[in-house]
């Protein structure tokens, strides 16, 4: 799978699925960059997204950290997505029984399923979590990622647990791939009688200027992630919007720096992908 071009892989996914739309966007924009916008004010979230929008295929949110959330934020985010051709990934990390996650996905303040093309879940509760999310998301053409591995030090998501995630993904077409640090789908043979399937690997813990954050996060470069580990999409947060957190930087300068970093990571991610194809 890692040796194939993104355009060739798009066909493996249902025509109306978010996974296929994501691959098509990656090809159109020549970008495998997902920006993770972990800021707590709606205005900052929109400013970061606007600053990097031309360079990203996907915008990842933690909508529950936005202190001044309103439905208007979603409207504006969707308008940016339309205008600049990217998809939206709410990094909700669902982790409850099927019935509860159905409600958390569809309802509450955030109504995630109504606007987020892609979301993710832990498999800790068992496969019922996938059924619960699929009941809501599948009719809307949404796609789900399972957290097969994590970037943080000491993660328990490894080995047999990660392979169990791959098995669950084969059993549920709503799952389009994984949050993982390498091609976990290559560690587990497809079920008897089933062909090997295409899965997307989206990878956080990506940074060009630091190796960690002192709180368990571990960074690797786009080249290590995409070329050497065969992952498909790099997820970058503070490496891109970090300037906005610095004291004493004028806002306009900070926003210009966010754009610059967005371009830098987009280029690094795409170069790593082309190096992988060439290898």
33-37 and 175-179 beta bridge pairing? unpaired
SS3 225: helix
SS3 206: strand
Q: Does residue 235 touch ligand UP6 according to CB under 6 A?
A: yes
Q: Does residue 238 touch ligand UP6 according to CB under 6 A?
A: yes
Q: Does residue 119 touch ligand UP6 according to CB under 6 A?
A: no
Q: Does residue 222 touch ligand UP6 according to CB under 6 A?
A: no
Applying CB under 6 A, the span of 12-20, 65-73, 128-136, 146-154 interacting with ligand UP6 comes to: 146-154
CB of 220 to ligand UP6, least distance (A): 11
Q: Which residue has the tokens 């389009």?
A: 176
Give φ, ψ of 265 to 5 degrees: -70, -35
Give φ, ψ of 91 to 5 degrees: -85, 65
For ligand UP6, the nearest residue by Cβ is 237
Burial class (CB in 10 A: 0-12, 13-18, 19+), 79: exposed
Decide whether 132 or 204 has the Cβ nearer to ligand UP6.
Answer: 204
Q: Does residue 148 touch ligand UP6 according to CB under 6 A?
A: no
d(CA 7, CA 77): 26
Output the known binding site for substrate: 38, 60, 151, 217, 237-238
Give the residue numbers annotated as catalytic, written as ranges: 91, 93, 96
* Interface contacts to ligand UP6, rule CB under 6 A: 36, 38, 62, 91, 150-152, 179, 204-205, 217, 235-239
């Amino acid at each position: 799978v890692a040796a194939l071009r993104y355009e060739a892989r798009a066909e493996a996914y249902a025509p109306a699925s978010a996974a296929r739309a994501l691959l098509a966007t990656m090809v159109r924009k020549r970008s495998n960059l997902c920006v993770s916008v972990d800021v707590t004010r709606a205005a900052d979230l929109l400013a970061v997204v606007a600053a990097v929008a031309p360079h990203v295929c996907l915008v990842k949110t933690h909508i529950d950290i936005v202190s001044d959330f309103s439905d208007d934020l979603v409207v504006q985010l969707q308008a940016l997505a339309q205008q600049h051709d990217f998809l939206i990934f709410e990094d909700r990390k669902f982790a409850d029984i099927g019935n509860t996650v159905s409600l958390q996905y569809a309802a509450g303040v955030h109504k995630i399923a109504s606007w987020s093309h892609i979301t993710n879940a832990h498999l800790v509760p068992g496969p019922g979590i996938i059924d619960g999310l699929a009941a809501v998301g599948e009719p809307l053409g949404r796609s789900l990622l399972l957290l097969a591995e994590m970037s943080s030090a000491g993660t328990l998501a490894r080995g047999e647990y990660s392979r169990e995630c791959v098995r669950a993904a084969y059993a549920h077409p709503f799952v389009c791939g994984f949050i993982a640090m390498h091609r976990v789908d290559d560690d587990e043979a497809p079920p008897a009688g089933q062909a090997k399937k295409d899965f997307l690997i989206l990878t956080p813990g990506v940074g060009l200027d630091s190796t960690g954050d002192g709180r368990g996060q571990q960074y690797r470069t786009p080249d290590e992630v995409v070329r050497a580990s065969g992952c498909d999409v790099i997820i970058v947060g503070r490496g891109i919007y970090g300037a906005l957190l610095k004291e004493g930087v004028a806002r306009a300068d900070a926003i210009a720096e966010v754009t610059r970093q967005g371009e830098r990571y987009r280029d690094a991610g795409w170069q790593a992908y082309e190096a992988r194809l060439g290898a």
